[in-house]
Amino acid sequence: MKEKITNQALRLLKKEGLKSFSMRKLAEKLSIDPMTIYYYFKNKDQLLAELVDVVFRKFYERLQLEEGRAKEKEKLESVLFEYRSFFIQYIDLSLYLIQSPNEESPAVKLLNDLILDLIQNSRPYENPELTRDILIDFIHGNALSVSNKPRKGSKVRANQNLTDSFRESLQILLNRLFYNSRLT
């Protein structure tokens, strides 16, 4: 039942957004008494924390970071690119994470540690923690701007143009952070 609740909560969150999400609506969608949800989750925040763990597990399953397959900087690029896609896919849950930074979840800490390790192994020009924070803020800002942008014409072509633009911007930022130079 807990898995059924979390799956439906993710669907409801994607459909209605964080502001409209409620335990009562979730119970209605599941055709159960709201108290059933409270049996598994003490409150909405605990449910949202569980959803964060669920989606981050999906994120980590998608990552393909084989040892020795690529240079650390290439692995970092891959993680950042996948994180952006993940962030856009679960935009309302991502916004919840940004709005409640005091309660860092273990899944978010794991991501921050993974990015920091990849940065340290890539020898950044600047402080590794600062570099990580700049990169994560860049991902968040880009993902938020893309998720709020109205689409014209072909969705696939528009998404590809945004993705290409993101890759180019990420390359410029990484070159600046790691080599203190611009891509020319």
How far apart, in whole angstroms, are the C-alpha atoms of residue 121 and residue 72?
A: 6
- Which residues are CB-contacts of 54 (< 8 A; sequence separation ≥ 6)? 6, 10
Domain boundaries, the chain: 1-41, 51-179
| Domain 51-179 classification at class level | mainly alpha
pTM reported for the whole predicted model: 0.76
How far apart, in whole angstroms, are the C-alpha atoms of residue 21 and residue 122?
A: 41
pLDDT per position as a tens digit, 116-148: 988 888 776 668 888 888 888 888 888 888 766
How far apart, in whole angstroms, are the C-alpha atoms of residue 13 and residue 90?
A: 9
Instruction: Please report, for residues 145, 170, 172, 179, the alpha-carbon distance to residue 138 in angstroms, rounded to integers and kept in the order given.
Output: 11, 8, 12, 18
154 pLDDT above the threshold of 50: no
- For residue 134, the Cα-to-chain-centroid distance in whole angstroms is 15
Alpha-helical (H) ranges within 100-154 are 106-122, 128-148
With bands split at pLDDT 50, 70 and 90, how would you rate the model's confidence at 179?
confident
- Fold classified for 1-41: Arc Repressor Mutant, subunit A (1.10.10)
Contact in structure between 122 and 178 (CB atoms under 8 Å): yes
Contact in structure between 132 and 173 (CB atoms under 8 Å): no
Encoding tokens for residue 36?
A: 């059933």
How far apart, in whole angstroms, are the C-alpha atoms of residue 175 and residue 66?
A: 23
Q: Same CATH fold, 51-179 and 1-41?
A: no
pLDDT per position as a tens digit, 95-105: 787 777 556 67
